Amino acid sequence: MKKLVTLLLALTLVLGVFAFAGCGNDDAATDSDVTDVADDVVEDATDDVADDEMTEEDSSDGGVDIGIVLPTKEEPRWVQDEARFLAAIENTNYNVEVLFSQGDSAKEKQNVETLIAKGIDVLIITPQDGDAAAAAVQAAKEEGITVISYDRLVTNTEAVDYYITFNSVNVGEAQGQYLIDQVEDGTTGNSLYLYAGAATDNNAFLFFEGAWNKLQPKIADGTFDVMNSSKAVEYKDKATLTREEMGEIIEQVTTDWKPEVALSKAQSHITSAPPTGKTYILAPNDGTARSIYDQFAKEEGVEIFITGQDAEIPSIQYVIDGKQSMTVLKDVRDLVNGAILTATEVLEGNEIKTNGEYDNGAVAVPAIDVPVITVTQDNVSDTIIGSGYYDSSEFTGL
Ligand code: BGC
């Protein structure tokens, strides 16, 4: 049974990897690398099924095998990851425990220590703060535990074995491209407000880098006027920013991933640079997008184009209602399957296939990169309902 589940996980992941191959990712593996990885994963999983009788003895010893640490229950994104993890491991023979850090690195460290004491062999962790989590994963590594960074990279430590992630640069590129596509050809001086995630999250940099890749030429040629970041204006002619330069912009426009911070920043930006007419807003994720949208929508005569990511249920409703313009679907089922497949392969002593690599400041971490999909009012039925991601009963006005 365990092997059958492994095969199903492998096939699901491979579908994701194939979709990724069609996505034209510039930064990670080439299409043929990706296809090779996909082929290998299928082959291995099939071999596993053939070997079934020989490996049945490697089931759980009753302790916790895989420990999962997620950043917070306060955002629907991570609650969904937990639910999808629990669904994915239901039919395996392994014991899994999920703990939440509630936005606190000290609690995160404590969670990792609790799981180490329970005898885990694999740790799957989404750090609250990439740098701060280094001590926790080092403690796990010292106990011989395999560490998988999940969605967010643990930074500046060698104690990370694998990274399972969506392609975050592609997320930012999808957001930037969406805004560009909404601009009437040949117009200049379109108001652009920039917002970013938390500077403690490596992903915030990757999302911003992707968005900047697309938006920068349109800021440089005057299509957009950045309304709320003097640093973005200062660097408008630089196609590629250093991490430090990006950090300076992010510092000015960070939401810290908190809707309430996004709200107060939006209020002060509206006061200092009031929006009029068509207004373009780079919002880093759904929680902050809804918050920023609600503030800007209070202004008379503005037409808002605003991005997001995560395909959270309330944001899908906003997209259906024509409020939030787009979100990026990061199919958590694929990420969870990738992480559980990797964890079970580790537990069974099999070779791990990866299709990318991310520099975490100390080491190049082998990665599995999962593709993302842009969701708008036009394709929401197909991408969200048709794909079985959510049930239509969650929404009105479809
Ligand atoms: C994740 C996003 C999420 C954000 C805030 C990022 O690291 O990739 O999906 O919206 O954190 O939790």
pLDDT of residue 92: 84
Using pLDDT thresholds of 50, 70 and 90, give the confidence band for residue 59: very low
State the average pLDDT over residues 74-100.
94
For ligand 1, whether the C-beta of 165 sits within 6 Å is no
Higher pLDDT, 89 or 380: 380
Q: What CATH class is the domain 168-330+375-394?
A: alpha beta
pLDDT for residue 91: 74
* 258 CB within 6 A, ligand 1: no
In this structure, the residue with its CA closest to atom 6 of ligand 1 is 203
Q: Which residues pair with 376 in a beta bridge?
A: 326
Residues 6+ apart with CB under 8 A from 374: 174, 178, 326, 328, 329
Count Cβ neighbours within 10 Å for each residue of 293-304 and write b for 16 or more, e otherwise: bebbeeeeebeb
Task: For residue 390, count CB atoms less than 10 angstroms from its CB and return exposed for 0-12, middle for 13-18, buried for 19 or more.
Answer: middle
**Ligand 1 pocket, 152 CB below 6 A?**
yes
Q: CB-based contacts of 5: which residues, under 8 Å, 6+ apart?
A: 91, 92
CB 308 within 8 A of CB 285: yes
In angstroms, the first-to-last Cα distance of the chain is 39
Q: What's the CA angle centered on 124, arms 195 and 242, to 5 degrees?
A: 35
Closest atom of ligand 1 to CA, residue 286: 10
Which residue has better confidence, 310 or 12? Answer: 310
Domain 66-160+332-370: top CATH class: alpha beta
pLDDT in tens, 307-351: 999 999 999 999 999 999 999 999 999 999 999 999 999 999 999
Predicted confidence band at 43 (pLDDT cuts at 50, 70, 90)?
Answer: very low
Is the CB of 2 inside a 6 Å radius of any atom of ligand 1? no
Cα 128 to averaged position of ligand 1 atoms, centre (Å): 10
Give the pLDDT score at 274: 97
Q: Is the pLDDT of residue 80 over 50?
A: yes
For a mutational test of ligand 1's pocket, the pick from 171, 203, 292, i.e. the residue with the most ligand atoms closer than 8 A to its C-beta, is 203
Q: Hey, where are the domains in the chain?
A: 2-58, 66-160+332-370, 168-330+375-394
pTM (two decimals): 0.87
218 within ligand 1 shell (Cβ under 6 A): no
pLDDT digits (tens, 9 = 90+) for 290-308: 999 999 999 999 999 999 9
Confidence of residue 187 (pLDDT cuts 50, 70, 90): very high
Which of 201, 258, 288, 336 should be mutated for ligand 1, with most atoms under 8 A from CB? 201
Q: How many whole angstroms from 164 Cα to the centroid of ligand 1?
A: 14
Atom of ligand 1 nearest to the CA of 152: 7
pLDDT at 262 over 70: yes
CA atoms 197, 200, 206, 211: torsion sign: positive
pLDDT of 198? 98
pLDDT at 61: 59
| Mean pLDDT, range 120-130, rounded to an integer | 98
Instruction: Indicate if ligand 1 lies below 6 Å from the C-beta of 310.
Output: yes
Q: Decide whether 66-160+332-370 matches 168-330+375-394 in CATH topology.
A: yes
Could you tell me if the CB of 312 is within 6 A of ligand 1? no
Supply the pLDDT for residue 247: 98
Atom 9 of ligand 1: nearest residue by CA position: 310
Nearest-CA residue for ligand 1 atom 10 is 285
> Rounded mean pLDDT of 106-122?
98
Average pLDDT of span 369-386: 97
Q: Which pairs from 102-107 meet CB under 8 Å and 24+ separation? A: 102/72, 102/73, 102/74, 103/71, 103/72, 103/74, 103/128, 104/128, 105/129, 105/132, 105/133
**Does ligand 1 lie within 6 Å of residue 81's CB atom?**
no
Query: Residue 26 pLDDT more than 70?
Result: no
Interval between CA 152 and ligand 1 midpoint (Å): 8
**CA of 334 relative to ligand 1 center, distance in Å:** 16
Nearest residue to 364 via CA among 149, 158, 124: 158
Q: What percent of the chain has pLDDT over 90?
A: 83
**What is residue 162's predicted lDDT score, i.e. its pLDDT?**
98
